[in-house]
């Protein structure tokens, strides 16, 4: 008998199809849970919660106490990287993240050594979660992909069209490439440290893979993600990676085939027949229920869950939403979703 516990979600990322799809949910720890809102109050600010291992580990584990999920995802945020590199991030209620926008001259001051030091509490959170997590549950680490993180660093906030960062990439090509280099390096260090602290798999969140022509997509999305996967595997051989290029649409196939990720996260706009017609047979996929179907529940959700499971039945599939759960989602709908997937 193998001494290593079977982790269905990790096995799926590595390409083994399971009898039923394992399930986790993006943003599964968060505001739709009263116990999250309670812990969040104790922490003070949102980043204080991310940097307090005791509380961050508690919040990471909360959804697994309620729902029979197959994985815990580290509770942190993609914007701890700029914060750690020396560009402070604030979260203001109702506003989302705010940073002082980075100029071309500021890039040389980003400090990789400081970043590794600053992120120690996040690694401590992973160690605590690992120690508390049942063996068969997969522990997911993550970071934001360089382009997505750069959009916040350059604009100082989120924006629907990433105009500021897209323009900067064209007007200041050298400074922009240097920024991507710094983010690639910081991400490799950070993800390698996450594996050392107990992560089984990591997800690259490329939340703003939309609005790019194919030349920009190759430069800003494919190349940095490919370099992270390659650099990470030099430190952690065979490191399992899920890539989630949200909105990649017609560029999705190239992302899947050129970055080296093990598994591809699909957003909810990806047609269910797309993987079969376009992606390599056997490539694991993750997704892709519209979070609004989970919010509304009932008929809006149930039929679609069955369709998703049927559509991906011939390849390794991890059930998930096609983007993060929204705060007003009723807990009973999450319970029902997990039940539906588990009885497949």
List of residues contacting ligand CP3 (CB under 6 A): 26-31, 40, 46, 73, 75, 77-79, 91, 96-97, 142, 158, 205, 207, 324
CB 18, min distance to ligand CP3, A: 22
Closest CA to 206 of 228, 189, 190, 185: 228
CB 180, min distance to ligand CP3, A: 17
Return the number of the residue (10 or 89) whose C-beta is nearest ligand CP3.
89
C-alpha 144: how far from its chain's center? 7
For ligand CP3, the nearest residue by Cβ is 207
Sign of CA dihedral 154, 158, 162, 164: negative
Cα separation of 268 and 320, whole Å?
Answer: 10
- Find out whether 6 is annotated in a ligand binding site: no
- Find out whether 300 is annotated in a ligand binding site: no
Cα separation of 107 and 4, whole Å?
Answer: 44
- Find out whether 219 is annotated in a ligand binding site: no
Return the number of the residue (19 or 160) whose C-beta is nearest ligand CP3.
160
- Find out whether 255 is annotated in a ligand binding site: no
Q: How many CA atoms lie within 13 A of 201 on its CB side?
A: 28
- Find out whether 37 is annotated in a ligand binding site: no
Return the number of the residue (227 or 246) whose C-beta is nearest ligand CP3.
246
Cα separation of 37 and 33, whole Å?
Answer: 7
Please name the residue that has the structure tokens 């390096």: 185
Active site residues: 27, 31, 40, 77, 152
CB 116, min distance to ligand CP3, A: 20
Return the number of the residue (47 or 192) whose C-beta is nearest ligand CP3.
47
CB 151, min distance to ligand CP3, A: 9
Quote the tokens at residue 83. 């914060």
Asked if the bond preceding 288 is cis, omega within 30° of 0, the reply is: yes
Q: Which residues fall in the annotated binding site?
A: 27-31, 77, 152, 207, 323
């Amino acid at each position: 008998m193998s001494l290593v516990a079977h982790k269905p979600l990790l096995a799926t990322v590595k390409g083994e199809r399971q009898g039923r799809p394992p399930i986790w949910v993006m943003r599964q720890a968060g505001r739709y849970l009263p116990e999250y809102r309670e812990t969040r109050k104790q922490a003070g600010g949102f980043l204080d919660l991310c940097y307090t291992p005791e509380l961050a580990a508690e919040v990471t584990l909360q959804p697994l106490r309620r729902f029979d999920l197959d994985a815990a995802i580290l509770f942190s945020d993609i914007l701890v990287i700029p914060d750690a590199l020396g560009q402070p991030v604030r979260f203001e209620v109702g506003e989302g993240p705010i940073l002082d926008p980075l100029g071309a001259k500021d890039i040389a001051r980003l400090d990789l050594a400081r970043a590794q030091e600053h992120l120690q509490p996040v690694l401590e959170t992973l160690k605590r979660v690992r120690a508390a997590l049942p063996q068969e549950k997969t522990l997911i680490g993550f970071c934001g992909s360089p382009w997505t993180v750069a959009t916040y660093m350059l604009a100082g906030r989120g924006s629907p069209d990433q105009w500021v960062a897209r323009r900067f990439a064209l007007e200041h090509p050298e400074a922009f490439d240097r920024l991507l280099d710094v983010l690639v390096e910081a991400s490799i260090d950070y993800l390698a440290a996450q594996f050392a602290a107990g992560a089984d798999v990591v997800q690259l969140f490329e939340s703003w893979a939309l609005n790019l022509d194919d030349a920009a997509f190759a430069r800003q999305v494919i190349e940095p993600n490919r370099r992270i996967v390659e650099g990470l595997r030099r430190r952690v051989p065979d490191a399992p990676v899920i890539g989630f290029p949200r909105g990649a649409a017609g560029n999705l196939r190239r992302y899947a085939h050129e970055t080296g990720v093990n598994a591809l996260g699909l957003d909810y706009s990806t047609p269910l027949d797309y993987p079969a017609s376009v992606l390599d047979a056997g490539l694991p996929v993750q997704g892709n229920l519209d979070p609004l179907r989970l919010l509304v529940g009932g008929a809006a959700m149930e039929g679609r869950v069955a369709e998703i499971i049927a559509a991906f039945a011939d390849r390794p599939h991890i059930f998930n939403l096609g983007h993060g759960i929204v705060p007003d989602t009723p807990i009973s709908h999450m319970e029902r979703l997990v039940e539906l997937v588990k009885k497949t």
